[in-house]
Structure 1
Amino acid sequence: MASRPPPRFVVRPHDEASQRRRRLWLGAAWLASLLLTALMVGMLAWRTTPAAVDRREAKQLAAENESLKQQVANLRRAQQVTDIATRSLRGTLAEREEEINGLRADLGFYSRLVGGNAQREGLKVQEVQLRPVGGSHAWNLALSLTQNAKRGSDVSGTVTLSVEGVRADKVVALDWSALGDAAQKDGLPFRFRYFQQLHATFMLPADFKPTRLRIHVRSEDDDGVDRTVAWSDALSGNLTTIEGGH
């Protein structure tokens, strides 16, 4: 038998429930789109309100403030490290300068002692050092005398001191009789061939401000030596700026 062609029309029963569900889904989707649109519009409007702008600016300023605080803290720490390093370097430089001054003094002392210039020189005040006595107005003095080793003979004599300074707004000088004790009223005795160090302790008035120390060396054989040393140099033991002398 010949097969029959398929029908051109199909008759199906009308489903009203399915159409209602479709319409409900379409309505719900449309309502959801409206709600989403309204929410987005509301958020945009909220972000553009003055209060929202102020909040954003306040938050941004707070973040910048915290960043600046951190930068300041870092700079302070860096400055502290730099200060510590600078103080350490200054201390090291001061120590090295003190060592160099000591070596220079030693070099001058031994150069004069051995007489490298082949001259027969006489007495010389090689070193002067002052140290305060704690809890008083007294001072300890250490004084080094030298002569050229080429002289080859002993030298003897006495040393006296005088201190110049300011007292009651006047420049005054205190001689040895006002500084030394009764047992050494004639001065500090010395006798040596190459060098000798002398020690003495003297007292200054409480209202006296010293500025210079005068040293008078009297020898039995020579005319003697007078030296003027700035008080600050005597405190540091630095005689590179000794004034006067013969």
Structure 2
Amino acid sequence: MQKWKHRWHALCRLEQSFKPRGLVLLVMALALILTGYSVGYLEQWALHKQVDHYQAAQEEWHQERLELERELATRGLEVRMEQQSQAETREMMARQREQIQALETDLTFFRNIMAPEKTADGVQIHDFILDETADLDRFRFRLVLTQQKIRKRFVKGNVTLTLYGSEQGQAVSRDLTQLGVDGAGLKFSFRYFQQLEDEFTLPQGFVPERLVVQLRLPAATGQKASSAEISYPFADLVSAPIMAQLRDNH
């Protein structure tokens, strides 16, 4: 019985010593401990997340750098291939130009053999073009002369243009200087080529049939006296409707 009384008194003393203030302090201490632990855990978690983010960004940058390096290498290869292709194209074009020049030389040689009448001491009647105008009887011509010889001096001479046809049923001829062409404009002086051009008007009642171009070179230093002549059917120089109107109107 005495033993149970002793325990009862001890329990009462413990109850008296355990005051509300101590409980509050204990709870606050536990709260501070838990708060500190939570804050530390959150900071550590945030740090890990930041490290993971930086590592992911670093890996992404690394992949981008590799991609850029591969693209740069590809572009460099494309540039080298393009440069090589351009060089090969230039070489091919140079060879083609040489071949064309050789063919033109051969063509000129054979032209002179087949049509020597078009050439006078290397000066060739390259082309003659007759253009129609707004007036039925008026025409504009262009005569192109070229040089086939290699000369250090200018080749000089003059051209005569003669129009043959009929007038009132009679065969007649007219020098184009009589039809409005300036005679001074028919003189030439060149090293490589020259174009002569002017206009003329057909006489009333004149029906043209052919036009003769005559080239004359006088004897001079670096050239010998020579001549060339070519005849063009007038119907080949103008359109069929114009030729028909000329015949009908005259």
Tell me if both proteins adopt one fold, taking TM over 0.5 as the criterion: no
Which structure shows the bigger proportion of residues in helix conformation? 2
- TM-score, normalised to structure 1, is 0.44
**TM-score scaled by structure 2?**
0.43
